[in-house]
Structure 1
Amino acid sequence: MLIDHDPYNCFMPYEPMPVASAAEGPLAGLTLAVKDIYDVAGYRSGWGCPTALAMSGVKTRNAPAVQALLDAGARFVGKVHTDELAWSMYGMNAHFGTPVNPAAPDRIPGGSSSGSAVAVAGGLADIALGSDTGGSVRAPAGFCRIWGLRPTHGRISLEDVMALSPSYDTAGIFSRDGETLLRTMSVLLADDAPLPANPRYLWPVQMMEALGPSQRAVCEAAFSGLDATPVDDLYPNGIEHAFAAYLTTMGGDAKASIVPFIRSSKMPLVRGIDGRAAAAEALTEAEIAAASETRQAIRAHVETLLGADGVVLAPVAHDAPFRLDAPFEIFDNFRHHAQKLLCLAGMTGLPQVVMPAGTVDGAPYGVSLIGPRGSDLSLIRLAVSLYAARKVAA
């Protein structure tokens, strides 16, 4: 790392190597942390995995997403932690440790972009580059009380980045405020499909029914005063049906992309990855094909509901981050409950922006907006305006 002190254990302990950036540009003055699945010249790419780190050579070029931020004037300050192989959402790495959540030190920081979120939340970087497959930008943003964006799928290059599940993998950015998020994403994206001045707000009944009273109250307060139309079939055939298709399609991708590395490298498997790798390997081509058809049907259905002007007012996850000393049953169940809400944007490839909203049981709880494909920048602008209005009203 290129900073003097890391009180939150979010940076990888690599020998500091300066990385050149432009002297001027739209991101001049901002410091940048990069998740350790992106290649950065002069550094190895560890993927949160000692075996991958040992096999990695020192990279000679930056991943395009990193280079774009450097060319815009952002100053690199180090590579940051990730869950092993980016295949979890808790931010707890058995090999390199758990970054401390600055907003709730007794809770998980969220992952797999744990280091990215913590570096920003703790003020050690102004912006951070993460990735989101099943919620790895959105969950830690919500858990650490910061802003984050999972962009429209495929709009930001993932060349020279570890692949987990390519039809779900996206880049993503963290910041402490919406204006900085917009400033940063404007470097990486064009405003391809801007929202109209008065979008249609959609209230996702199935998502809200999955929440407890405290969580729902935060959502209602965050979006109070908006004229939102209740939608009770955002997940056609129900959340469980969609979630099953998500697990199978994501697992099918992983079977072809990351599982071969797991097996060929003979890396030791920690609890969690062992089961996910085995489940992915066990999937048949027929199961993957059937789930892919379900996914395409859900995508078409949601895109029809949104049209060019629809915005879903959504929770990020079903609950605030759990305590670091939580019992095993919490660890085993939390991820699936959270991903039942998180999977919608991934299955449809739509952008989702996260902003702080409130607290549940003393821990941060975020809310989000899901918009049409290509509406990324105007979706952030909308979130900024809604957040500002709520803060003034409060």
Structure 2
Amino acid sequence: MLIDKDPFNCFMPYEAIRVAHAADGPLAGLTLAVKDIFDVAGYRTGSGCPTRLAQSPVARKTASAAQRLLDAGAQFVGKTHTDELAWSMYGMNAHFGTPVNPAAPDRIPGGSSSGSAVAVAGGLADIAIGSDTGGSVRAPASFCGIWGLRPTHGRVCLDGVQPLAPSYDAVGLFARDGATLARAADALLGPDTAALPPNPVLLRPTDMIAQLAAEQQAIYVSVFGALQAQDVEVFPQGVAAVYDIFLTTISGDAKAAIVPWIKASGMPLVRGIHGRVAAAEQLAEAQIADARKARANYAAKIVALLGDTGVLLAPVVPEAPFRLDAPIEVFDTYRHDAMRLLCVAGLVGLPQVTFPAGSIDGAPFGLSLIGPRGSDLSLIALANALAKGTTT
């Protein structure tokens, strides 16, 4: 890392190697942290995995997503921790440790982009780049009380980034405020391809809100309750059926993209990854193909629901971050509970902006907007307008 101190254990302890950046540009004066699944010239890429790190050559070229931010003037300050192979949601790494959540030190920081979220929340970087496959930017943004963007799928190039599930993998961004997120997103994404109109149609997803407990629903109402919004459902087949499509397709992707390396490398499988690898290996190709067809049908319905002007006023996750010493049952269930909300944007490839909305038992709780494909920048602008006055 290129900073003096890391009180939150969010940076990888690599030898400090300076990375060139533009002397001026729209991001001049901002510091940048990069998740350690992205190649950065002069550094190895460990992906939170000792075996992967041992096999990694020193990168000669920086991943184009990170390079765009450097070319816009952002100054690189280090590579950040990630859950092993980016295949978890809690931010806890058995090999390299757990970054400390600056907003709630006794709680999980969220993952897999844990270090990037913590670096921003702790003021060690102004912006950070992460990846979001099943929720790895959106969840830690909510948990750490900061802003996060999962962009339209495919809008940002993924070269030089370790894949996990390619039809879900997306480059994401963190910032402490919406204005800085908009500034970074503009540099990373370029102009919207389908900007929202000045007065978009606001949609209230009742079957997402129903997954929240009373205290979380109260925060939702405090932020969105006064807005004129139409009630809609985003799980027409039921939550369980849609979530099964998500699990099967994301695991099918992982079976092809990362499981072969895991098996060939002989890396030790810690709890969590072991079960996910086993589940992916058990999937039959016909089962994956059927789920992909069901995903396409589901996506078509949600795209039609949003049209060019619709925006979902959406929960991000069902709860504030749980405690680091929570019972194992919490670890086993929370991931699935969270992804039953997070899966909507991923299944359809939609942009989702997360912002701080309130707190529960002293820990942050975020809300979000989900918009049509290609509406990323205008969605951030709308979030900035609607989020004014919210607190963590």
TM over 0.5: yes
Q: Which residue of 2 aligns with 1:117?
A: 117
Structure 2 CA distance for aligned equivalents of residues 225 and 76 of structure 1: 41
Following superposition, the deviation at residue 235 of structure 1 comes to 1.2
User: Does the 8 Å CA contact 2:223/2:357 hold for their aligned counterparts?
Assistant: yes
**Separation in 1 of the partners of 2:370 and 2:308?**
12
Shift in Å, 1:224: 2.6
1:85-127 C-alpha deviation (Å, 9 max, x unpaired) = 0000000000000000000000000000000000000000000
Q: Partner residue of 2:224?
A: 223
Q: Which amino acid aligns with 1:41?
A: A
Whether contact under 8 Å (2:223, 2:390) holds in the other structure is no
Q: Distance between the aligned counterparts of 2:66 and 2:208, measured in 1?
A: 34
Q: Deviations over 1:333-390 (max 9, x none)?
A: 00000000000000000000000000112210000000000000000000001112x3
The corresponding residue for 2:202 is 201
C-alpha contact 2:200 2:310 (8 A) present in aligned 1:
yes
Residue matched to 1:37: 37
User: How many Å separate the matches in 1 of 2:313 and 2:339?
Assistant: 17
* CA distance, structure 2, for counterparts of residue 270 and residue 296 of structure 1: 33
Whether the 8 Å contact between 2:356 and 2:390 is mirrored in structure 1 is no
Counterpart Cα distance in 1 of 2:146 and 2:364: 9
State, as a whole percentage, how many aligned pairs show the same letter.
65
Q: Aligned partners of 2:258, 2:310: CA distance in 1, in Å? A: 35
> Over the residues paired in the alignment, what is the CA RMSD in angstroms?
1.0
Partner of 1:371: 371
Query: In the alignment, residue 195 of structure 1 is paired with which amino acid?
Result: L
CA separation of 1:194 and 1:270: change in aligned 2, threshold 3 A: same
Q: State the partner residue of 2:171.
A: 171
CA deviations 1:44-83 (Å, max 9, x no partner) are 0000000000000111110000110000000000000000
Q: TM-score, normalised by structure 2?
A: 0.99
Q: What per-residue deviation string (whole Å, max 9, x for no partner) do you get for residues 173-230 of structure 1?
A: 0000000000000011121111011111111110111110001111111113210111
Instruction: Provide the C-alpha distance between the structure 1 equivalents of 2:26 and 2:210, rounded to a whole number of angstroms.
Output: 42
Q: Which residue of 2 aligns with 1:342?
A: 342
1:316 equivalent in structure 2 = 316
Give the conservation status (yes or no) of the 8 Å contact 2:113–2:137.
yes
**Residue in structure 1 matched with residue 129 of structure 2 by the alignment:** 129
Runs of 4+ in 1 over 6 A off after TM superposition: none
Give the drift of 1:294: 1.2
Counterpart AA for 1:115: G
Q: Distance in 2 between matches of 1:30 and 1:218?
A: 32
Amino acid at match of 2:300: A
2:302 pairs with 1:302: yes
Q: Distance in 1 between matches of 2:291 and 2:317?
A: 23
1:192-341 mapped onto 2 (5 Å cutoff): 192-231=193-232, 233-341=233-341
SS at match of 1:287: helix
Aligned AA (2:297): A
Q: How does 1:98-113 map to 2 (within 5 A)?
A: 98-113=98-113
For the residue of structure 2 that corresponds to 1:109, the secondary structure is: coil
Aligned 8 A contact 2:306 2:372 in 1? yes
Q: Which runs of 5+ in 1 are unaligned?
A: none
Aligned ranges for residues 71-86 of structure 1 at < 5 Å?
71-86=71-86
How far apart, in 1, do the equivalents of 2:254 and 2:193 lie? 30
In 2: Cα distance, 1:15 partner to 1:132 partner:
27
Structure 2 alignment gaps of length 5 or more: none
Name the amino acid aligned to 1:102: P
- Is 1:88 equivalent to 2:81 in the alignment? no
Q: 2-side partners of 1:298 and 1:222: how far apart?
A: 28
| Alpha-carbon contact 2:202-2:311 (below 8 Å) kept | yes
Q: CA offset at residue 270 of structure 1?
A: 0.3
Counterpart residue identity of residue 236, structure 2: P
Report Cα offsets for 1:7-33 as digits up to 9, x if no partner. Answer: 000000000000000000000000000
Q: Distance in 2 between matches of 1:235 and 1:298?
A: 9
Please give the alpha-carbon distance, in whole angstroms, between the structure 1 residues aligned to 2:238 and 2:362.
31
Q: Contact 2:63/2:158 (CA < 8 Å) preserved in 1?
A: yes
Q: TM-score, normalised by structure 1?
A: 0.98
Q: Which amino acid aligns with 2:237?
A: N
Matched with 1:148 is 148
Secondary structure of the structure 2 residue equivalent to 1:54: helix
Q: CA deviation at 1:391?
A: 4.6
1:300-358 C-alpha deviation (Å, 9 max, x unpaired)? 00000100000000111011100000000000000000000000000000000000000
1:24 maps to a residue whose letter is D
Summarize deviations over 1:262-312 as a string: whole Å, max 9, x none: 000000000000000010011001110111111111100000010000000
- Amino acid corresponding to residue 215 of structure 2 in structure 1: S
